Chains A and B, each alone.
Chain A
């Protein structure tokens, strides 16, 4: 199953502010919907998202049922050195998924 679409610039100048876009595949079932028979469909959402840049956490988010399905999160960071971005999503039912992207900073 394809999990995530990540958009990180391949290259950046040192000190440049870059935008990181992430899109993760997940149903984000709110826990407030009912079946036709009236039973609650249990909650199943991503509850946390974090991004590490060369091991240092640069961004974190708490997600609530108010997030749409296939959560889309974008944020900014300062490009400091070449290396890797590591993304992690955690959630209900032991959900855990990761992705990464590299960047060359000159």
Chain B
């Protein structure tokens, strides 16, 4: 019947338009899967053990734009046994990598502080590579709240 077909056409068009309109401008987010891939790119096939690494982030963050973070590894820093590098990853920012830090025996202490951006409440993972080729990690959960009042462009 004429009515039904036009209605069906209309619904078809509307559905298509809605699907088109639903395409979000927000970038694709990292997912736990892409974080795993990024971690694999650093550690290869080696096992990552939990321990030695301490990841300090405030549990409740005042503003996701600037989150103080300190990563430290309890390990000697001698030429024979030291931390080679520290890599930090996340789950929900647009990219899984956050930063890589390269140390050496003369660092004295394997500890780095910086300020990072967190798009949402999520897990952060820090992985340390030691001079003997072993990998150690720590994971922490961060809760990110947003600023209360919307700010407009200057």
Contacts and interface: CB of A to CB of B under 8 A. Distances in A.
**Direct A/B contact, Cβ within 8 angstroms:** yes
Interface of A: 17-18, 30, 32, 34, 36, 38, 53, 56, 58-69, 71-78, 80
A76 B111 contact: yes
Contacts, number: 92
Nearest to A34: B25
B25 A38 contact: yes
Contacts of A34: 25
Contact of A59 (B66, B101, B153): B101
Interface string B112-146: 11111110000000000000000000000000000
Contacts of A77: 106-108
B27 interface: yes
Interface residues of B, number: 31
Contacts of B58: none
A63 B88 CA distance: 10
A32 B94 contact: yes
B31 interface: no
B34 interface: no
Contact of A62 (B25, B67, B99, B113): B99
A63 B118 CA distance: 15
B107 A63 contact: no
A66 B102 contact: no
